[in-house]
Amino acid sequence: MLDLAKKAILTGVGLGLVAKDKIDETVQRIREENKLTEEESRKLAKELLNQSEEARQKLTDLVKNTTNDICTSLDVPSRQEYTELEKRITRLEEALKNSDNETA
């Protein structure tokens, strides 16, 4: 389940990187076709990159929220709960070991 979430996030990051290259290409083509100034093309590229980043962030948030919802519905313990259980088990094992030593 978490592998799927990681893949989705990495895909979003990959799309963001590809998007930058495509944005640069597209802005260059638009600049040549429409005779934009350097400043206008920079502004357009910046706007498109911002929109791409917003879309990537929305995808990341969606994946995180969906993953959290799935884990909650499946009653999967959180990292903190898991750590607390590990500590509790360690304490119980030590107590059991000590009680075995006292009876021996």
State the Cα–Cα distance between residues 99 and 94, nearest whole angstrom: 9
Instruction: Report pLDDT for 83.
Output: 97
> 33-91 pLDDT, tens per residue?
777 788 887 887 788 778 778 877 888 898 889 988 998 899 999 899 999 999 999 99
Answer for the pair 60, 9: CB distance below 8 angstroms, yes or no: yes
Amino acid in the structure at residue 104: A
Q: Would you list the DSSP string of 35-57?
A: T--HHHHHHHHHHHHHHHHHHHH
Rounded Cα gap, residues 40 and 31, in angstroms: 8
pLDDT band at 16 (very low <50, low <70, confident <90, very high): low
Other beta carbons within 10 Å of 12: 17
Can you give the residue ranges of every domain in the chain? 2-73, 77-104
Q: Please determine, for residue 12, whether its predicted confidence score (pLDDT) is greater than 50.
A: yes
Task: Give pLDDT, residue 80.
Answer: 94
> What is the reported pTM?
0.55
Q: What is the pLDDT of residue 2?
A: 44
HSE, side-chain direction, 13 A CA sphere, residue 26: 12
